[in-house]
């Protein structure tokens, strides 16, 4: 090397650096921050272990941990149990989707659960020791205690158990030390008896006990809007409850879970009150719209099974959300789906999130345009207020947004705004606008952009007060309810319920 030449790289390679990778990576940054230190309980059934995508799913879990999430993995082993029981010539017995476990069957079930444990822990260790996921330990053992289900409706469930207590402090201690906790469906009683516990239920109870921010089920199947054919990618708790009660009603009407047709196109319809007001929520404007949902996915001819499984997961998700878990997800067992679900706005699966408690005043209590006002109340105290007024097909104004002085900086303002964004989406409004003289920055930080009087709908332009000279901010609502959910996460809504 006789001579060195120095040259500037600026201006070179711009095309590569501004490519989709950089945009994508930058887009993930807010989600990485949001999930840093978050406890996530992730359930996978035994079928995931048999799936060709298993290795990549485990690698994704390792990456999640590397990105700062604290993971508890809960595994089931139903298909492995079925195979081993069949090989041993032992007949399987289920009642209402719960396995009846004889002493003889328990021996085989322990082997199936052990097999899944080894597969999962070895895959995690591969990531931990040599792979990209970094160095961490996997902790398993007696992190929960079990008790017998006993005799129900005359059926003796034998060695089938249920969760008695989750050792939340011990689990958190492991997570704080950088470990990943792994629970299987095998639980022990205080006197050393062994029980076969339903892992879907265990995951939900564990998430609630450890104060997880997420409960994630990795499972096949999805819900579709039966009218539009669109996949439903987010639901509120109230909508999930409504879905479940319709499913139960349908089941009891039919005498069994609904099965329809076969093949990939087969759907078992379940009504969902999409975007309807939850039990605790009454909306002054009333934007409830009945929609029908259908269940899809799974193997051909298995609509009944897919539907039953999705409803079971939804039921447990509802239980966990009711007990304080912020969000529940059902993510397909495909490579990268977990990462897409957690680090992108549109996700890859179904998100179920909690409701807010918004209650309207009665018409007697408010003035003539009561239907445009929304209030947040706790007991008899009004904590916040805002109006939502439509202009034509596409526009709506949010105004008078105010939170009680003693309750500010707790996320209530953001909660009210995101609620109104949902109201807007449910009524097909595309553009929200606000007029403000002092709170401009607050709206800008929540996705609004300054606009002009000429951008207002004609009717509102006419009533614009030129003396007051309020500034105008617009927000275009794209991406549907899921986008509102995603933004809410980034706003870090604290202790809303």
Ligand X SMILES: CC(C)(COP(=O)(O)OP(=O)(O)OC[C@H]1O[C@@H](n2cnc3c(N)ncnc32)[C@H](O)[C@@H]1OP(=O)(O)O)[C@@H](O)C(=O)NCCC(=O)NCCS
Would you tell me which residues interact with ligand X (CB under 6 A)? Answer: 401-403, 408-414, 434, 436, 438-439, 441-442
**310 or 415: CB nearest ligand X:** 415
Separation of alpha carbons 112 and 208, rounded Å? 27
Decide: helix, strand or coil at residue 74. Answer: strand
Separation of alpha carbons 256 and 471, rounded Å? 59
Question: ∠ at Cα 308 (349, 100), nearest 5°?
Answer: 125
| Paired tokens of 12 | 């070179």
- Antiparallel, parallel or unpaired: β 395-403 and 431-436: parallel
Separation of alpha carbons 289 and 496, rounded Å? 25
Distance in Å, CB of 494 to ligand X, minimum: 8
**91 or 468: CB nearest ligand X:** 468
Decide: helix, strand or coil at residue 469. Answer: coil
**307 or 397: CB nearest ligand X:** 397
Decide: helix, strand or coil at residue 230. Answer: coil
Those residues whose C-beta lies under 8 Å from the C-beta of residue 186, and which sit 6 or more positions away, are 109, 110, 113, 194, 195, 196, 197
| Paired tokens of 126 | 């591969």
Distance in Å, CB of 438 to ligand X, minimum: 6
**290 or 450: CB nearest ligand X:** 450
Distance in Å, CB of 39 to ligand X, minimum: 23
Distance in Å, CB of 420 to ligand X, minimum: 12
Those residues whose C-beta lies under 8 Å from the C-beta of residue 132, and which sit 6 or more positions away, are 59, 62, 63, 66
**256 or 369: CB nearest ligand X:** 369
* Residue with nearest beta carbon to ligand X: 413
Residue-wise burial string across 139-160, b where 16 or more C-beta atoms lie within 10 A, e elsewhere: bbeebbbbbbbeeeeeeebbbb
Considering just the CA atoms, what is the radius of gyration of the chain in Å?
26
- Nearest Cα to Cα of residue 269 among 225, 334, 321: 225
Partners of 294 in the beta sheet?
Answer: 224, 269
Separation of alpha carbons 317 and 239, rounded Å? 12
Distance in Å, CB of 377 to ligand X, minimum: 14
Distance in Å, CB of 211 to ligand X, minimum: 22
Separation of alpha carbons 308 and 250, rounded Å? 12
**115 or 442: CB nearest ligand X:** 442
Distance in Å, CB of 491 to ligand X, minimum: 7
Residue-wise burial string across 122-134, b where 16 or more C-beta atoms lie within 10 A, e elsewhere: ebbbebbeebebe
**9 or 438: CB nearest ligand X:** 438
Q: Can you state the percent helix, strand and coil of the chain, rounding each to 5?
A: 40, 25, 40
Distance in Å, CB of 102 to ligand X, minimum: 55
**478 or 495: CB nearest ligand X:** 495
**259 or 483: CB nearest ligand X:** 483
| Paired tokens of 450 | 């300054």
**198 or 418: CB nearest ligand X:** 418
Separation of alpha carbons 37 and 215, rounded Å? 15
């Amino acid at each position: 090397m006789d001579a060195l030449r120095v040259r500037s790289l600026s201006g070179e390679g711009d095309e590569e650096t501004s490519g989709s990778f950089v945009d994508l990576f930058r887009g993930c940054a807010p989600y990485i921050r949001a999930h840093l230190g978050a406890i996530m309980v992730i359930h996978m059934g035994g079928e995931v272990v048999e799936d060709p995508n298993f290795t990549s799913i485990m690698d994704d879990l390792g990456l999640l941990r590397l990105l700062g999430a604290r993971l508890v993995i809960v595994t089931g082993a139903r298909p492995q149990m079925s195979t081993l029981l069949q090989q041993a010539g032992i007949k399987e017995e289920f009642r209402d989707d719960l396995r009846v476990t004889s002493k003889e069957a328990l021996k085989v079930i322990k082997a199936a659960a052990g097999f899944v444990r080894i597969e999962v822990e070895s895959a995690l260790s591969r990531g931990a020791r040599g792979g990209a996921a970094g160095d961490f330990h996997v902790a398993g053992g007696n992190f929960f205690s079990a008790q017998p289900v006993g005799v129900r409706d005359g059926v003796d469930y034998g060695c089938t158990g249920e969760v008695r207590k989750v050792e939340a402090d011990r689990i958190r201690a492991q997570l704080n030390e950088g470990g990943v906790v792994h629970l299987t469906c095998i639980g022990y009683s205080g006197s050393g008896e062994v029980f076969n516990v339903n892992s879907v239920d265990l995951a939900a109870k564990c998430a609630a006990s450890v104060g997880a921010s997420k409960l994630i089920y990795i499972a096949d199947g999805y819900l579709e809007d039966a009218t539009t054919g669109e996949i439903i990618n987010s639901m509120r708790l109230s909508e999930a409850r409504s879905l479940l009660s319709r499913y139960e009603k349908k089941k009891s009407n039919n005498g069994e879970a609904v099965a329809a047709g076969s093949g990939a196109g087969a759907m078992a319809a379940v009504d969902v009150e999409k975007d309807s007001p939850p039990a605790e929520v009454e909306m002054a404007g009333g934007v409830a719209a009945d929609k029908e949902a259908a269940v899809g996915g799974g193997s051909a001819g298995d609509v009944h099974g897919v539907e039953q499984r999705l409803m079971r997961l939804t039921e447990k998700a509802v239980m966990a959300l009711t007990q304080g878990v912020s969000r529940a997800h059902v993510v397909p067992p495909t490579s990268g789906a977990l990462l897409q679900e957690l680090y992108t706005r549109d996700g890859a699966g179904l998100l179920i999130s909690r409701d807010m408690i918004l209650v309207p005043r009665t018409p007697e209590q408010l003035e003539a345009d009561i239907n445009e006002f929304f209030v947040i109340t706790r007991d008899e105290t009004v904590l916040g207020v805002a109006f939502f007024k439509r202009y034509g097909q596409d526009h709506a104004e949010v105004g008078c947004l105010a939170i009680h002085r003693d309750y500010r900086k707790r996320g209530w303002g953001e909660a009210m705004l995101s609620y109104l964004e949902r109201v807007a989406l449910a009524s097909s409004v595309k553009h929200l606008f606000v007029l403000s003289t002092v709170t401009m920055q607050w709206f800008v930080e929540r996705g609004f952009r300054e606009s002009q009087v000429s951008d207002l709908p004609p009717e509102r332009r006419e009533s614009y007060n030129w003396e007051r000279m309020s500034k105008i901010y617009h927000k275009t609502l794209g991406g549907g309810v899921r986008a509102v959910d995603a933004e809410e996460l980034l706003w870090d809504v604290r202790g809303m319920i």
